[in-house]
């Protein structure tokens, strides 16, 4: 595999050294490895590509990570469903698949993956497999920033409503990652209120099957809080 460049992100290493984020470019494919220093292995590997990339190339690269115990995520800049059949088959190469994501949304997803084991409230990479949909294996990501937990909760609640299915036959699995600019402790009652509001909004339209959340400090936030929600319909 020929690598054009490789660099280590320092943004997310200032507070929690458990992870390194390594970015690699191979032709028009961006590969982001979230490397665990603790176990000296990748916990997440994310592929970001466009519909102009040959599917054979992506398959070759994903196969190189097949022996690793990492969550492998495929992110296409456009919709895979409108691309040729070979690209549709790509969905089977990944644990999770995202479509139509901008660069900003992709970075939100990277942050959410990073937050899995990096903060005061954390989980395991294997948690993400719970998002895998039996139907189309598609996941979605939305985010919001604000100066209070209530601000980001209101914004996220409205964005989620736009994504929820019109019928209530489907179930929803949700991971949300809360980022805070400063190191002050969270007021857990505020977090509980936020969780409940978002959950109630989802359950008004669909059954919330799984809900997990993480929290970590990110000094590079423009505002005080950021909430990234990653979810799927199963």
pLDDT digit string, tens, across residues 140-188 = 999 999 999 999 999 999 998 888 877 666 789 999 899 998 877 677 7
Domain carrying residue 206: 125-233
Q: State mean pLDDT over 46-66.
A: 89
- Residue 178, in any domain of the structure: yes
SS (H, E, C) 75-91: EECCCHHHCCHHHHHHH
pLDDT above 80: residue 88: no
Decide if 173 contacts 136 (C-beta within 8 A).
no
- Residue 113, in any domain of the structure: no
Burial class (CB in 10 A: 0-12, 13-18, 19+), 162: exposed
Give the whole-number percent of the chain exceeding pLDDT 90: 42
Work out the pLDDT band at 16, boundaries 50, 70, 90.
very low
- Residue 48, in any domain of the structure: yes
Q: How many domains does the chain have?
A: 2
72, 142: one domain: no
71, 151: one domain: no
Work out the pLDDT band at 125, boundaries 50, 70, 90.
very high
- Residue 116, in any domain of the structure: no
Name the domain boundary from 77, 105, 133. Answer: 105
Find tokens 């949300």 and name the residue.
Answer: 176
Supply the pLDDT for residue 186. 72
221: which 2 tokens? 């936030």
Find tokens 């000296």 and name the residue.
Answer: 40
- Residue 166, in any domain of the structure: yes
Instruction: Provide the strand spans (E) within the chain.
Output: 5-9, 19-26, 29-36, 41-49, 71-76, 96-98, 138-146, 171-180, 207-217, 225-233
Q: What is the mean pLDDT of the chain?
A: 84
206: which 2 tokens? 């669909």
90, 161: one domain: no
Q: At what angle do helices 149-163 and 188-203 cross, to 10 degrees?
A: 10
């Amino acid at each position: 595999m020929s690598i054009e460049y490789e660099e280590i992100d320092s943004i997310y290493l200032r507070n929690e050294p458990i992870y390194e984020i390594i970015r690699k470019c191979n032709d028009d494919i961006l590969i982001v490895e979230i490397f665990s220093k603790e176990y000296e292995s990748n916990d997440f590997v994310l592929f970001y590509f466009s519909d102009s990339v040959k599917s054979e190339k992506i398959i070759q690269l994903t196969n190189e990570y097949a022996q690793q115990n990492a969550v492998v995520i495929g992110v296409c800049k456009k919709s895979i469903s409108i691309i040729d059949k070979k690209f549709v088959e790509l969905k089977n190469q990944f644990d999770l698949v995202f479509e139509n994501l901008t660069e900003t949304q992709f970075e939100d997803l990277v942050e959410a993956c990073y937050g899995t084991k990096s903060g005061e409230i954390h989980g395991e990479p294997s948690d993400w497999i719970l998002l895998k949909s039996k139907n189309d294996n598609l996941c979605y990501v939305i985010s919001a920033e604000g100066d209070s937990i209530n601000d980001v909760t209101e914004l996220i609640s409205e964005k989620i409503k736009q994504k929820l299915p019109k019928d209530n036959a489907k179930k929803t699995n949700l991971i949300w990652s809360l980022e805070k600019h400063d190191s002050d402790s969270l007021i857990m009652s505020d977090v509980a209120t936020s969780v409940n509001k978002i959950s109630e909004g989802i359950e008004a339209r669909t059954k919330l099957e799984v809900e997990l959340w993480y929290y970590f400090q990110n000094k590079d936030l423009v505002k005080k809080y950021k909430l990234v929600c990653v979810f799927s319909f199963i």
